[in-house]
Each structure stands twice: as structure tokens, then as C-alpha cells.
């Protein structure tokens, strides 16, 4: 690749350009190399972290190879947060103070993002989040704009709007799904608090009965007692928000052939190779996703996923699409401005509307409660809901992106 990787993945580790000052490169006030700092969990082992790192690498490679800014190359520096807030802060400082990167992106867990918000403010370096969903970051931007304005969330939509998106899906598809009652199951992590709030405030408007609701402990591995309660409640489906605990939950649901259906937000199920990873246990289950390899969310979605597969011999999870979009949007804005000045780039991003792989990306303004979060709307970023059907990620919502209809689990027919 034409970009240089450094950090925990044992890449190059060298700064061959050695020049991050302005004025050394091509058109505008640009250096010879623009350095992109990437924060990803276990990028060598975790598909979510790997997609963050590789999404940035592919963007940098294409920008450099295409001569997007004449005389300027793009270089990626990857650091491993290990999903630990303390490690995340250390790695952020290594990127901004040691590597002197021009912008940062990535961060999967909300706990890590919140740990580095003050560092982003003090370093005054543009950060475009591409995984963590906590709206606490956008609250800080809204309430203390001059301090925290350097933070943007390119995706996903924030955690409160993730919950709203779940409700919108259920409201639109309830007749097709046949879910007249649901059991709400939410894992107890930072990101799910706002999801729970949105469900509590909006599910009642759908007319779907909430048969039970449980926010279960982080690290839960035995779901049998919880599933017994779901069946006792008579719910048609478990309506879920799961990331860290998703795999044992889906494997036990399938193996035990529980008498309820399963859907909501399940982060591991977003991975294109997940069906093989769990030996088909995710069959018939539904999850929200930013995109799938075959869904034409925009004209850039399929070309990106194909290029990613060609380069890395696998398809990305949602963080790959979003990180790619973040780097591309940043590059477009700085090119248009002719400068890397962070204060000017903040204004440029606020005014930007960029067609990416996951939708049309624009940001809520500073006076919005979700300041600098990507806008959730039908003509902006509008996530898809997919059902695993015999190894395929079949999109069942929104209607404009569907590739098939919902199918009930065969043991419930």
C-alpha cells in the first residue's frame, strides 16, 4: 500500500515524510503528507477494530493514488485502544503529541470516547468518531462549544437515535413481522442507556405491547434464565440492544430454539462473515446495520465494499464504512478550504454535506442537543435492518433498500 501504518499492529512505525508542518506539499497550504490517526480496538483480531483500521487505510490509499491533493500523500497511523479508557487516552496522546497527526478517527466504545473528550479539546485536533454512540459527547459540544467543537461523530447515529431508529423499524414493519408484543432486552453498557430511554419514550406509540423489559448485567453469558422469562411473558419477540454480549445470546437462542423471534441492534451480527463464525446460529435473526456488502445505500456503498474485499480479503463491518467516510469527508473539506487549520475545518465540516458509503453525511448544528452528530433522516443517514437468511444479509427495511421479505424462524412456523 502507498500509505504507512504504524502503531500496535507492527506496521512500518516510521514517519518517512517527517514533515507535518504546513507549506511543504501541493496546492493550498498543505504538507507533503497528511497524517490520519486511528484508534481501534484490537485491530489485528477484532473485526470491528480491523474494519476501523482498514477503512482508514483504504481511504488513504485511494486519496494518495488518485492524487486527490496534488503533491500530498495520506498516511495512516493505527493505535490499539484495547477497549480500555486509560489505554485509549494514552494512545490518543501518542497520536496527537508523538505522531503529530492532523486528524483522528475511530473509537468503538463509548467509555473510551468519553475518556478522551478533554484531550480532544486540549489538543484542538479534529476528531471524527466512527463507532462510539454515546450522545454525551454531543452534549459537551452543545453546552461548551468553544471547548469541545473539534469533535464530530460521522457515525453511527447517536445512541438515543439508535433507539428511535429501532422504534421506527418496528412501527413500519410490525404487520410484516407479526410482532404484537416484545420483550425488551438491553445489555448494561454506557451506549445502551440512551437506547433504553428512546425505547421507553417511544415504543408505546407503535401499539406494540411491551411484555417485559430487562437491562441485564454486562458480561452476561448464560441467557437461559432470561429467555425463560421472555417465554413466560408471552412476547412474540425479543427486541434487543446487544454488542459485547451478543454472541452467547444468539447462539443460545438458536440452539434452544426458543419460542420467540429475535431482532433489534446486535452488533456482532452486522459482520458479513458472522454466519460462518457462529455456524448459522444467527439464521432468522434481525439487526440494524449501516450497510451490507450488497445494499446500495448510495452509489459508493458497493464499490467500497468490493474494493475493501479485494484489498483485505473480507468485507467490512459498519465501522469500516463510517471510518472510510470520515477520512474522505475530511479530505474533501480541507481540499476545498485549502488549509488544515482546525478552526476553519470545524466550520467546513459544519457546512459540509457529503455523500458517503453509509448515506449523505451532514452534522447537527452547535445549537442542537446533538451538536456535531451525523443527522438521522430519510434523505441523510438512514440505517438498514437486515435478516440473516441462509447465509445472506437480506435487507428488510427501509423499503427503498430491501432485498427480500422477513421470514419467521422455521421452528416457529
- Collect all residues with Cβ–Cβ distance below 8 Å to 228 and sequence separation of at least 6: none
| CB neighbourhood size of 98 (10 A) | 14
Q: 3-state DSSP call for residue 161?
A: helix
In 3-state terms, what secondary structure has residue 411? Answer: coil
Q: CB–CB of 38/99 below 8 Å?
A: no
pLDDT of residue 22: 37
Q: What distance in Å separates the CA atoms of residue 176 and residue 183, rounded to the nearest whole number?
A: 18
Place of cell 417465554: 231
pLDDT at 27: 52
Q: What is the pLDDT of residue 28?
A: 65
Half-sphere exposure of 177 (CA within 13 A, CB side): 29
Phi and psi at 157, nearest 5°, equal -55, 150
Q: How far apart are CA 98 and CA 100, in angstroms?
A: 6
- H or E segment at 147? helix 145-148
pTM for this entry: 0.90
Mark the ranges of the chain whose per-residue pLDDT is less than 50. Answer: 1-26
CA R_g for the chain = 21
268-310 residue pLDDT tens: 999 999 999 999 999 999 999 999 998 999 999 999 999 999 9
Residue 308: which of 267, 334, 271, 348 has the closest Cα? 271
pLDDT value, residue 413: 67
Question: Nine-digit cell at 392?
Answer: 445472506
Q: At which residue does the C-alpha cell 478522551 appear? A: 116
In angstroms, the CA 42 to CA 60 distance is 20
**Is the distance from CB of 252 to CB of 275 less than 8 angstroms?**
no
Inter-residue contact 393 to 293 (CB < 8 Å) = yes
Nearest to 215 by CA among 253, 189, 234, 236: 189
Spatial contact of 329 and 372, defined as CB atoms under 8 Å apart = no
Q: Find the distance separating the first CA and the last CA of the chain, reported in whole Å.
A: 50
Assign residue 292 a region (left: φ > 0; alpha: ψ between -120 and 50; beta: otherwise). beta
pLDDT in tens, 22-76: 333 445 679 999 999 999 999 999 999 999 999 999 999 999 999 999 999 999 9
The DSSP 8-state label assigned to residue 360 in this structure reads E
Strand order in the sheet with 384-389: 209-216, 181-187, 237-242, 261-266, 286-289, 384-389, 392-397
Query: How far is Cα 199 from Cα 169, in angstroms, rounded to an integer?
Result: 12
How many other β-carbons are positioned within 10 Å of the β-carbon of residue 228?
A: 12
Using CB atoms within 10 A of its CB, is residue 53 exposed (0-12), middle (13-18) or buried (19+)? Answer: buried
Tell me the three cell numbers of residue 368.
Answer: 442542537
Asked if 168 contacts 376 with a C-beta cutoff of 8 angstroms, the reply is: no
Q: What pLDDT is recorded for position 287? A: 97
The answer to whether 138 touches 367, Cβ cutoff 8 Å, is: no
Residues 6+ apart with CB under 8 A from 333: 345, 348, 349, 352
Cα angle 272-245-370, degrees, rounded to a multiple of 5: 80
- Do 77 and 37 meet the contact criterion of CB atoms below 8 Å apart? yes
Half-sphere exposure of 233 (CA within 13 A, CB side): 24
Residue 111 and residue 190: Cα distance in Å, rounded? Answer: 7
Provide the strand spans (E) within 3-50. Answer: 33-40
Amino acid at each position: 500500500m502507498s500509505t504507512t501504518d504504524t502503531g500496535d499492529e507492527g506496521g512500518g512505525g516510521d514517519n518517512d515524510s517527517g514533515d507535518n508542518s504546513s507549506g511543504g506539499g501541493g496546492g493550498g497550504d498543505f504538507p507533503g503528507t497528511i497524517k490520519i490517526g486511528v484508534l481501534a480496538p484490537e485491530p489485528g483480531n477484532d473485526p470491528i477494530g480491523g474494519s476501523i483500521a482498514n477503512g482508514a487505510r483504504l481511504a488513504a490509499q485511494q486519496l494518495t493514488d488518485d492524487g486527490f491533493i496534488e503533491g500530498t500523500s495520506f498516511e495512516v497511523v493505527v493505535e490499539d485502544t484495547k477497549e480500555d479508557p486509560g489505554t485509549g487516552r494514552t494512545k490518543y496522546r501518542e497520536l496527537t503529541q508523538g505522531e503529530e497527526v492532523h486528524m483522528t478517527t475511530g473509537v468503538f466504545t463509548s467509555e473510551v470516547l468519553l475518556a478522551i473528550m478533554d484531550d480532544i479539546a486540549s489538543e484542538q485536533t479534529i476528531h471524527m468518531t466512527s463507532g462510539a454512540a454515546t450522545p454525551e459527547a454531543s452534549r459537551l459540544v452543545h453546552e461548551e462549544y468553544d471547548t469541545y467543537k473539534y469533535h464530530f461523530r460521522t457515525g453511527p447515529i447517536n445512541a438515543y437515535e439508535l433507539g428511535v431508529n429501532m422504534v421506527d423499524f418496528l412501527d413500519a414493519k410490525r404487520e410484516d413481522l407479526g410482532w404484537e408484543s416484545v420483550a425488551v432486552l438491553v445489555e448494561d453498557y454506557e451506549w445502551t442507556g440512551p437506547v433504553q430511554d428512546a425505547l421507553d419514550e417511544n415504543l408505546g406509540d407503535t401499539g406494540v405491547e411491551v411484555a417485559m423489559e430487562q437491562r441485564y448485567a454486562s458480561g452476561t453469558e448464560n441467557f437461559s434464565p432470561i429467555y425463560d422469562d421472555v417465554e413466560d411473558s408471552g412476547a412474540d419477540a425479543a427486541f434487543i440492544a446487544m454488542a459485547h454480549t451478543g454472541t452467547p445470546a444468539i447462539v443460545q437462542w438458536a440452539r434452544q430454539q426458543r419460542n420467540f423471534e429475535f431482532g433489534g441492534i446486535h452488533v456482532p451480527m452486522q459482520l458479513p462473515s458472522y454466519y460462518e463464525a457462529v455456524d448459522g446460529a444467527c439464521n432468522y435473526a434481525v439487526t440494524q446495520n449501516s450497510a451490507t456488502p450488497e445494499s446500495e445505500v448510495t452509489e459508493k456503498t458497493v464499490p467500497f465494499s468490493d474494493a475493501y474485499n479485494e484489498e483485505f480479503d473480507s468485507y467490512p463491518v459498519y465501522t469500516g464504512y463510517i471510518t472510510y467516510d470520515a477520512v474522505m469527508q475530511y479530505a474533501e473539506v480541507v481540499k476545498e478550504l485549502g488549509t488544515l487549520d482546525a478552526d476553519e475545518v470545524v466550520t467546513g465540516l459544519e457546512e459540509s454535506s457529503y455523500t458517503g458509503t453509509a448515506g449523505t453525511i451532514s452534522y447537527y448544528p452547535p445549537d442542537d442537543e446533538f451538536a456535531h452528530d451525523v443527522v438521522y433522516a430519510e434523505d441523510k443517514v438512514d440505517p438498514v435492518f437486515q435478516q440473516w437468511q441462509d447465509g445472506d444479509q437480506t435487507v428488510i427495511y427501509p423499503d427503498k433498500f430491501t432485498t427480500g421479505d422477513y421470514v419467521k424462524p422455521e421452528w416457529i412456523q
